């Protein structure tokens, strides 16, 4: 790892390379990478029949992923994963979590974890938002796998209803793709209280404008005092899709979420998710954000004096802009789901990073109230397609 010259945009200082040695060591643990939103054959009805859990597990391990969560659609359009035709006689019949045994079979302690989750998928009578809610079991062994989720008939179940069902089932509840080109999968903002928000979804050919809208909604939540963890996931439906995938067909792990965990177990991953210890990434790009006090020990809130950005840009990427910002105000448009909240921010650092470069940059700040985040952005998304090899950091809020 080598140093990049730091270019601050406001009155602050960048540390010199020798100072890095005096920072407190990283805590004991490891970054575990995985995919939190994957669909499988036999449980979701839109996988083209070739995404069996065994194939997903083999491909994930070949990619170096440590965990995969199967989040198949609730009821698979009338409890029949072989058809896309809705049969009212089968509404709300279940079964849910039909991949539980397969997930256990293809997991291997301390090497690879497959978890059977769900994507509760109500739909409005028209193409208006309801929302898809990811249900990631906190405790898979004690999960209620028999009670069906209620997601039909159309127009009878709102996004907030789906969210509550996930919370009642003791799941780490994620609002998936809250803004989307397909309006019926966007969230209707009828309830809050979710644990996570998918701010980087594999559809759209990389990080796109809908993802950036979701990122603003997440930062708006944080500015309003909600504790929400950002996640990135592929939403893969076809396991044999070659990486990085296409506009409508993302490959497994494109993008993915890395979670800092004290040990390679699912409870430790959940602990890391609840604490917001994540990094979101596409390909081999990575971005980590940490905060330290005047003694260069890890710190939070108004004790922060230094912000440190570490990571790398995938060698296949275009040159990227590394930006550190402080979001300080949100004009919240919700519950209107047609437009995202508008976040006002100040840019603290803007630095060009070249493909294949790693970086370790420290900024000295006078902490002000707001939400500090970083993004590594190669190019900029168009209206129709996103950019590959982006990376996003966790948030550091200062009250």
Q: What's the rounded Cα separation, in Å, for the pair 153 and 302?
A: 50
Q: Does any domain span residue 244? A: yes
- The token pair at 152 is 């039909």
pLDDT at site 383? 72
Digit-coded pLDDT (tens) for 277-323: 999 999 999 999 999 999 999 999 999 999 999 999 999 999 999 99
Query: Is the peptide bond between 244 and the residue preceding it cis, with omega within 30 degrees of 0?
Result: yes
Tell how strand 171-176 and strand 132-137 pair up: antiparallel
Say if residues 322 and 349 touch (Cβ distance below 8 Å): yes
Residue from 361, 393, 368 nearest 8 by CA: 361
Q: What's the rounded Cα separation, in Å, for the pair 76 and 152?
A: 11
Q: Does any domain span residue 2? A: no
pLDDT over 90 (residue 47): no
Give the ranges where 149-206 is alpha helix by DSSP (H): 159-168
Domain count, the chain: 1
Q: Does any domain span residue 5? A: no
Say if residues 345 and 328 touch (Cβ distance below 8 Å): yes
How much is the average pLDDT of 23-51?
A: 92
Say if residues 188 and 158 touch (Cβ distance below 8 Å): yes
In this structure, what is the dihedral angle of CA atoms 170, 233, 39, 274, given to the nearest 10 degrees?
-10
Contacts 24+ apart (CB under 8 A), 75-81: 75/121, 75/148, 75/149, 75/151, 75/152, 76/43, 76/44, 76/45, 77/45, 78/152, 79/148, 80/45, 81/41, 81/42, 81/43, 81/44, 81/45
How much is the average pLDDT of 54-83?
A: 89
- pLDDT > 90: percent of the chain: 83
How much is the average pLDDT of 166-194?
A: 97
Other beta carbons within 10 angstroms of residue 342's beta carbon come to 13
Say if residues 197 and 217 touch (Cβ distance below 8 Å): yes
* Structural domain boundaries, residue 327: 13-398
The answer to whether the Cα torsion of 357, 111, 102, 147 is positive or negative is negative
How much is the average pLDDT of 236-247?
A: 92
Query: Is the peptide bond between 95 and the residue preceding it cis, with omega within 30 degrees of 0?
Result: yes
Digit-coded pLDDT (tens) for 111-153: 999 999 999 999 998 999 999 999 999 999 999 998 999 999 9
Q: Does any domain span residue 3? A: no
Task: Read off the CATH number of the domain in which 44 is found.
Answer: 3.20.20.140
Q: Does any domain span residue 206? A: yes
Q: What's the rounded Cα separation, in Å, for the pair 336 and 281?
A: 29
What does the DSSP assignment read for 322-386?
EEEEEEEEEE--TT--SSPPEEEEEEEEEEEE-TT-EEEEEEE----SEEEEEEEEES---SS--
pLDDT over 90 (residue 4): no
Q: Does any domain span residue 360? A: yes
pLDDT over 50 (residue 192): yes
pLDDT over 60 (residue 5): no
Q: Which pTM does this prediction carry?
A: 0.93
Q: Does any domain span residue 114? A: yes
Say if residues 170 and 139 touch (Cβ distance below 8 Å): yes
Q: Does any domain span residue 175? A: yes
Find where tokens 């020990």 sit.
Answer: 297
pLDDT at site 11? 34
């Amino acid at each position: 790892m080598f140093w990049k010259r730091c270019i601050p945009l406001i009155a602050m200082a960048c540390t010199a390379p020798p100072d890095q040695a005096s920072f407190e060591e990283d805590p004991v643990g490891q970054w575990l990478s995985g995919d939190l939103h994957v669909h499988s054959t036999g449980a979701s009805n839109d996988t083209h029949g070739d995404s069996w859990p065994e194939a997903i597990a083999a491909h994930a391990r070949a990619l170096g992923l440590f965990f995969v969560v199967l989040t198949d659609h609730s009821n698979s359009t009338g409890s029949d994963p072989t058809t896309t035709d809705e049969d009212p006689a089968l509404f709300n019949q279940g079964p849910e979590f039909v991949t539980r045994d397969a997930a256990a079979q293809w997991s291997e302690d301390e090497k690879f974890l497959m978890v059977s989750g769900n994507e509760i998928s109500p739909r409005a009578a028209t193409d208006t938002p309801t929302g898809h809610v990811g249900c990631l079991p906190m405790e898979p062994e004690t999960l209620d796998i028999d009670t069906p989720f209620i997601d039909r008939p159309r127009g009878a179940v709102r996004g907030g209803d789906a969210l509550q069902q996930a919370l009642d089932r003791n799941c780490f509840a994620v609002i998936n793709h809250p803004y989307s080109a397909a309006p019926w999968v966007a969230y209707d903002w009828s309830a809050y209280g979710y644990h996570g928000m998918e701010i980087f979804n594999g559809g759209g050919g990389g990080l796109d404008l809908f993802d950036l809208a979701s990122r603003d909604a997440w930062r708006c939540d944080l500015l309003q005092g909600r504790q929400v963890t950002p996640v990135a996931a592929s939403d893969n439906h076809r396991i044999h899709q070659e990486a990085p995938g296409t506009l409508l067909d993302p490959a497994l792990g494109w993008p993915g979420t890395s979670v800092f965990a004290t040990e390679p177990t699912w409870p430790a991953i959940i602990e890391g998710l609840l604490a917001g210890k994540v990094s979101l990434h596409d390909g081999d790009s990575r971005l980590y954000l940490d905060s330290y006090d005047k003694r260069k020990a890890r710190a939070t809130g108004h004790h922060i004096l230094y912000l440190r950005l570490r990571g790398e840009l995938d060698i296949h990427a275009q040159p990227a802009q590394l930006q550190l910002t402080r979001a300080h105000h949100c004009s919240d448009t919700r519950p209107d789901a047609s437009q995202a909240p508008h976040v006002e921010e100040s840019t603290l650092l803007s630095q060009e990073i070249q493909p294949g470069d790693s970086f370790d940059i420290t900024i000295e700040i006078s902490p002000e109230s707001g939400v500090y985040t970083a993004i590594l952005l190669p190019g900029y998304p168009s209206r129709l397609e996103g950019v590959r090899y982006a990376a996003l950091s966790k948030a550091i809020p200062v009250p």
